[in-house]
Amino acid sequence: MTFEKVRTNVYLDKNLKEQAKKFFKQYGLSLSDGLNFLLKKTLEKRELDLDMEIEPILPGDPDYEITKNAYENYKKHPEDYVDFDEWVKSLNV
């Protein structure tokens, strides 16, 4: 599944942007990916209070290399990946 992406300009607090980039990087996400994730979750929950607990994957973690390689492959070939929700639906469970 591919997604059409559009360039959007937003004005962010400079320090907030840098902190967010570092934060999302811990999860293998770019700033753009992180913001898309937050927007999607906000719309799914239909509320601004996003109570999400996600553990970062750090370089010392056993799955770090697997996650890093998967993300790099996804960036090169996004057409080979499906959205998690779509995958669950395909299971017909």
CB burial of 51-89 (b: ≥16 within 10 Å; e: otherwise) equals: eeeeeebeeeeeeeeeeeeebeeeeeeeeeeeeeeeeee
Write the pLDDT tens digit of every residue in 36-85: 888 888 888 777 666 666 677 778 887 778 877 877 887 788 777 776 66
- Mean pLDDT computed over every residue of the chain: 79
What is the length of the chain?
93
Confidence check: pLDDT of 1 > 60: no
Whole-prediction pTM value? 0.51
Which of the four pLDDT bands, split at 50, 70 and 90, describes residue 16?
A: very high
How do the domains of the chain map onto residue ranges?
A: 14-90
Of 2 and 24, the structure prediction assigns the larger pLDDT to 24
Which of the four pLDDT bands, split at 50, 70 and 90, describes residue 2?
A: low
